[in-house]
């Protein structure tokens, strides 16, 4: 009974929640790295594309770089609040093989598909965090729901770009 009271009083920050908190920090750290890698990928892909049709993608990704950096910061801040430590660069492992520069910099479809894959990966992981937080940590859950909304918007926008290319038989 005492344990239940402590859990209610201190929530996810309570001593009895240490294991859940550690697992959550792991999930948040993965999310943090996903955002950091997305910043790198979108930065490169907001510079490399060439051709008359590249401008829309460039402008959109320039804006996204700032948004994804903001997400990384939010994940980092929450890791700290949960008594974790934001990792250093030596712990970083790149995973976004699909967002490497294409062979030809006019290959906009490659970039669009890469962005959709990155956003889909984030959406999947963030849904898992939201589910894990249920009944444990409403603050992290709230934060991740807001970030998930951003990612769904990003994916939807790039799905629209892809549809345009598909309609013209270019994708």
Residues lying near Fe ion in the complex (CB under 5 A)? 35, 68, 71, 151, 154
Q: Least Å distance between CB 49 and Fe ion?
A: 18
Q: Which of 37/151 has CB closer to Fe ion?
A: 151
Q: Least Å distance between CB 167 and Fe ion?
A: 24
Structure tokens at 97: 């093989």
As a whole number of angstroms, the longest Cα–Cα distance in the chain is 67
DSSP state of 14: S
d(CA 54, CA 107): 9
> Which residues fall within 8 angstroms of residue 136, CB to CB, at 6 or more apart?
11, 12, 17, 20, 24
d(CA 37, CA 95): 8
Q: Which of 20/150 has CB closer to Fe ion?
A: 150
What is the CB neighbour count within 10 angstroms for residue 52?
A: 7
Q: Which of 17/29 has CB closer to Fe ion?
A: 29
Q: Least Å distance between CB 168 and Fe ion?
A: 25
Q: Least Å distance between CB 91 and Fe ion?
A: 19
Q: Which of 149/163 has CB closer to Fe ion?
A: 149
Alpha helix ranges (H) inside 11-107? 18-45, 54-81
């Amino acid at each position: 009974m005492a344990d239940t009271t402590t859990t209610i009083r201190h929530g996810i920050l309570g001593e009895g929640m240490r294991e859940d908190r550690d697992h959550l920090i792991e999930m948040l750290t993965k999310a943090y790295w996903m955002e950091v890698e997305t910043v790198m990928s979108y930065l490169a892909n907001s510079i490399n594309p060439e051709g008359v049709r590249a401008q829309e993608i460039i402008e959109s990704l320039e804006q996204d770089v700032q948004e994804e950096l903001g997400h990384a910061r939010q994940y980092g801040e929450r890791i700290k609040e949960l008594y974790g430590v934001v990792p250093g660069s030596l712990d970083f492992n790149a995973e976004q093989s699909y967002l490497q520069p294409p062979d030809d910099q006019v290959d906009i479809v490659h970039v669009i598909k890469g962005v959709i894959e990155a956003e889909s990966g984030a959406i999947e992981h963030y849904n898992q965090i939201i589910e894990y937080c249920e009944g444990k940590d409403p603050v992290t859950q709230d934060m991740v729901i807001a970030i998930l909304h951003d990612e769904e918007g990003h994916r939807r926008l790039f799905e629209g770009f892809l549809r345009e290319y598909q309609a013209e038989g270019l994708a």
